[in-house]
Amino acid sequence: MKSKIETLRHELEQHNYNYYVKSSPTISDFEFDAKLRQLQELEAQFPEFFDPNSPTQRIGSDIASGFEQVAHVYPMLSLGNTYSGGEVHEFYERVRKGLNDDFELVCELKYDGTSISLTYENGLLVRAVTRGDGEKGDDVTANVKTIHSIPLRLHGNFPVGFEIRGEILMPWAVFEALNRERESQEEQLFANPRNAAAGTLKLQNSAVMASRKLDAYFYYLLGENLPASSHFDNLQAAHSWGFKISDAMKVCKTIDEVSEFIRYWDVERKNLPVATDGIVIKVNSLLQQRALGFTAKSPRWAIAYKFQAEKALTRLNSVSYQVGRTGAVTPVANLDPVQLSGTTVKRATLHNANIIESLDLYVGDMVFVEKGGEIIPKITAVDKDARFLIGDKVKFIEKCPECGATLVRFEGEAAHYCPNENACPPQIKGKMEHFVSRKAMNIDGLGSETINLLYQNDLLHNIAEIFTLKIPDLIRLERLGTKSAYNIQAGCEKSKEIPFERIVYALGIRFVGETIAKKLAFSFKNMEALEQATFNELIAVDDIGERIAQSVIQYFADSMNIETINRLKLFGLQMRLSDEKLQAHGTSLDGLSIVISGTFSLHSRDEYKSMIEMNGGKNVGSVSSKTSFILAGENTGPEKLKKAEKLGVKLVDEKTFLSMINNEIQTNINQTGLLF
């Protein structure tokens, strides 16, 4: 059986490489998935053949990893930066004088992601560490294993031990889709793919990380026994072992060739699937690199030429203000249309009042607009020399442009908010959109356009009225067919089965996302109890701080919200935790912080996580002095064991854990498959 498992692993590795590195798969996704499943089943059946570098380990797990800090063997330095062709010339001259000999340069793209250092031993990925402060970084191995273009096992003729450095990137398409999803969930958007990649890499949950589809390119090989004496050849060798190395890499002999490379890629990079922000120029020979050496911060044998963020100069005609569904007010600059990175820009974000203030902006000013890595253009500066015949100084509005309410600003926040939640049109519509959305009530057929149409036609003013919509009224609306009308009605009917915890989320209480909604639902168990919860009761719940508690109190203090909830109750929505969930909910682990580590034989990790939560405990990722105990299976990580010993944290095995939580509770969990 061992050889069958190994053959499957080998085959899957090859297909992974064909798909993610070479971009030329030789089998269908379906066949790949079938093979992967087969391997998963065999590995579960024969745990003695466990391999941390098996293709199945790329799927990610839901254990929070908590990151160990690891010292870099070779410090991770940065590069000297320049924006000017002249300085690239000076770099060339410095190298020429410093070497006193012929030399070659390698030009490559500067990828704009987050840097990573991988260590391989005997062809296996053993560690992945972030840059950190350059001296030490976070061990993110579990997360990095979910990136399919990173080989877990090498092929060919590789050195026994080496490090390879590169950039982890979130492709534009993934970034855009992620931001669309976040927008629909009212979560804060990532400003650019770099931030998104860095944020993703630090996620505590490698299963979510796996779903984010990161990519990685490698550009620097380090070690004692490298295969070649030049940087270029080493990277080509690394390519043959399975690493993704950019095709955009060129050996140049003259400064003209370097300039040509820069000119070409400054335009062509816009067609790449990932973000780049410049060109890196490196001396090719390793001997010559050594001869030039390093300054305290960066190598003398390399320089980064950064592309100018594309800028345009145009006139600011006015500032308007958009009110979002949470009441946040965003200032938007209306501009004379101007061409920027191939699109016509007419509007740019001004973010908030502080930014407006620091720009010292007047209507009529000539302003610089930039796109940079960001999707939405922004104003970065004012051309004060061009200032004549200008209008008024731009001053942030005091009243909501949609409803006239006086705006408020929360302590410590830059944004202004309209507090008129129940009567401000974009907030009313936004609340309804959130209520019907997929993760909330999931009412089919009611998109934002239909909600807008119903609102405009005076048929819908608040979330409760969604359940009073009548087929004839719906059909009478322009653009809405009979089929859609029946769909909406069926969707409303079906939503009456949506469990209580999702109703709590659907209400759209500020700062109450999916996870917090679940915590509230499981702590207070029904709507009345939640309505009456005091500030102290709220902050006693795990993960609920003062800001959320305040927001919940404020929500239920509003009589209109109470009235809406009462109407929803009458329409038959689930206003209490189901009996099954109530029964399954014990208190034996109340207030305990528990780390899950290793592999288990009696229940899956997911089931243990649910059991912890169902019994009042909290599943945390890393061992600290606050950890109550570690639920330890086979192969518990050595770092975790060491830390536990140091801090005197107890280990509890599966059986002991199960006896800690009462048996009745487990039976319930098993029978109903009830998972959080």
Residues that bind ligand IVH (CB under 6 A): 77-79, 108, 110-111, 115, 167, 219-220, 280, 299, 302, 304
Query: Which amino acid is located at 148 in the chain?
Result: H
Q: How far is the CB of 42 from ligand IVH (least distance, A)?
A: 39
Q: How far is the CB of 259 from ligand IVH (least distance, A)?
A: 18
Q: What is the rounded CA–CA span in Å between residue 599 and residue 56?
A: 14
From residue 606, give the alpha-carbon distance in Å to each of 33, 39, 54, 676.
Answer: 21, 20, 20, 9
Q: What share of the chain is helix, strand, coil (3-state, %, to 5)?
A: 40, 20, 35
Q: What is the rounded CA–CA span in Å between residue 515 and residue 303?
A: 46
Q: Are 64 and 161 in contact (CB under 8 A)?
A: no
DSSP state, residue 205:
B
* Separation of first and last alpha carbons in the chain: 36
Q: How far is the CB of 283 from ligand IVH (least distance, A)?
A: 11
Q: What is the rounded CA–CA span in Å between residue 633 and residue 157?
A: 37
Identity of the residue, 110 or 643, whose beta carbon is nearer to ligand IVH in the bound complex: 110
CA 40 centroid distance within chain: 27
Q: What is the rounded CA–CA span in Å between residue 597 and residue 653?
A: 10
Identity of the residue, 231 or 640, whose beta carbon is nearer to ligand IVH in the bound complex: 231
Q: What is the rounded CA–CA span in Å between residue 664 and residue 673?
A: 14
Identity of the residue, 115 or 574, whose beta carbon is nearer to ligand IVH in the bound complex: 115
Q: How far is the CB of 294 from ligand IVH (least distance, A)?
A: 8
Q: How far is the CB of 373 from ligand IVH (least distance, A)?
A: 13
Q: How far is the CB of 282 from ligand IVH (least distance, A)?
A: 7
Q: From the candidates 110, 282, 519, 640, give the one annotated as an active-site residue.
A: 110
Q: What is the rounded CA–CA span in Å between residue 524 and residue 635?
A: 38
Q: Are 25 and 41 in contact (CB under 8 A)?
A: no
Identity of the residue, 131 or 325, whose beta carbon is nearer to ligand IVH in the bound complex: 131
CB hemisphere CA count around 676 (13 angstroms): 26
Q: Are 485 and 474 in contact (CB under 8 A)?
A: yes
C-alpha dihedral (14, 20, 21, 23), degrees to nearest 10: 100
Q: Which residue has the tokens 């599966």?
A: 654
Q: Are strands 311-323 and 328-340 parallel, antiparallel or unpaired?
A: antiparallel
Q: How far is the CB of 276 from ligand IVH (least distance, A)?
A: 8
C-alpha dihedral (615, 616, 621, 623), degrees to nearest 10: -100
Identity of the residue, 15 or 110, whose beta carbon is nearer to ligand IVH in the bound complex: 110
CB-nearest residue to ligand IVH: 115
Q: How far is the CB of 311 from ligand IVH (least distance, A)?
A: 22
From residue 487, give the alpha-carbon distance in Å to each of 299, 438, 445, 473, 475.
Answer: 64, 15, 6, 14, 12
- Collapsing DSSP to helix, strand or coil, 87 comes out as helix
Q: Is 99 exposed, middle or buried (0-12, 13-18, 19+ CB in 10 A)?
A: middle
CB-based contacts of 74: which residues, under 8 Å, 6+ apart?
163, 222
Query: Which amino acid is located at 343 in the chain?
Result: T
Q: How far is the CB of 295 from ligand IVH (least distance, A)?
A: 11
CB-based contacts of 394: which residues, under 8 Å, 6+ apart?
316, 319, 356, 361, 362, 363
Q: Are 138 and 68 in contact (CB under 8 A)?
A: yes
Q: How far is the CB of 81 from ligand IVH (least distance, A)?
A: 7
Helices (H), 481-545: 482-494, 500-506, 514-524, 527-532, 535-539
Q: Cα Rg for the chain, rounded, in angstroms?
A: 29
Q: Is 110 a catalytic residue?
A: yes
DSSP state, residue 559:
H
Q: Is the dihedral of CA 135, 139, 141, 147 positive or negative?
A: negative
- Collapsing DSSP to helix, strand or coil, 122 comes out as coil
Q: What is the rounded CA–CA span in Å between residue 271 and residue 643?
A: 47
- Take residue 263 and report the two structure tokens written for it: 């000119």
CA angle 656, 662, 666 (to 5 degrees): 90
Q: How far is the CB of 108 from ligand IVH (least distance, A)?
A: 4
Q: Are 466 and 436 in contact (CB under 8 A)?
A: yes
Q: What is the rounded CA–CA span in Å between residue 212 and residue 174?
A: 7
CB hemisphere CA count around 213 (13 angstroms): 11
Catalytic residues: 110
